[in-house]
Amino acid sequence: MPSRTFARAASPLALLAAVLAIVLAGCGSSGNGIASKSATEILAASKAAADSASSVHVTGTLSSAGSPITIDIALAAGTGGRGQLSENGLAFELIVVKDTVYIKGSPAFYSHFGGGAAAQLLDGKWLKAPASSGQLATLASLTNLSKILGQTLVSAGTLVKGASTTVNGQQVIELTDTARNGSLYVATTGQPYPVQIVKRSFETGKVTFSAWNQPVTLAAPANAIDITQLQHEGR
């Protein structure tokens, strides 16, 4: 009899609400425990998580000595990356596939570095060169996930753990590097990935990390012009 009474009293909506309450409580109540650790431990855990990732999307704008640099690149560990960069309004697309780097500059980019004739000749065209050496080798390093994380996730001074907060809807804990006057925000749910870096001293701006472990499709552009051949022809 008690069971039949309950069946009559409990509506489908009430049962659904009860189930949802249990599910949501289980999903949202616990973090990854990173916020309880020391600043040094949080940095180490964040670097370990990032090092084990297969990919990440890096976006942001930094200003160094008054020169604004904008970056929007998807990186694949051990493979390369693709995206767009610009400095002082000179924009170019970048693709790195294994041992080769490809760039396609805007008309202003080609004109700035090669003059009006070069801008006309190269308009809409991709250039390529070895990623290990030559004029484009430095650009290739911008798509090396291991190098980028190794350079950014390091402290030069005393790390101070700040308060828990949110960045782009993600729950994070703040670490402040007093020597560099910057902050690193580390995810406090899921894997302790770096979520954002904010710089406030010689370099200002912020870089955001997202789409961890999402697929990154890399393909070499067709009919790219080999820079080394252009150099030989110009001699």
List the chain pLDDT tens, one digit each, 235 residues.
444 444 444 555 555 555 444 444 434 435 899 999 999 999 999 999 999 999 999 999 988 777 888 999 999 998 999 999 998 889 999 999 988 999 999 999 999 888 888 888 899 999 999 988 777 888 888 888 877 777 777 776 688 999 999 999 999 999 998 877 889 999 999 999 999 999 887 778 999 999 999 999 999 999 999 987 765 554 4
23 in any annotated domain:
no
- Does 28 reside within a domain? no
The answer as to whether 132 is a domain residue is yes
Which pTM was predicted? 0.81
Domain total of the chain: 1
Q: Could you tell me the two tokens for 220?
A: 């070499």
Which residue range forms the structural domain that includes residue 186?
34-210
Whether 71 is covered by a domain: the verdict is yes
What CATH number is given to the structural domain containing 91?
A: 2.50.20.20
Strand 127-130 relative to strand 225-226: parallel, antiparallel, unpaired? Answer: parallel
Residue 17 is predicted with a pLDDT of: 54
- Within-domain flag for 1: no
In a domain? residue 10: no
pLDDT of residue 114: 83
In a domain, 226, yes or no: no
The Cα–Cα gap between 177 and 154 comes to 9
Residue 198's pLDDT is what? 92
d(CA 73, CA 51): 17
C-alpha–C-alpha distance, residues 129 and 75, integer Å:
19
The answer to whether residue 12 is domain-embedded is: no
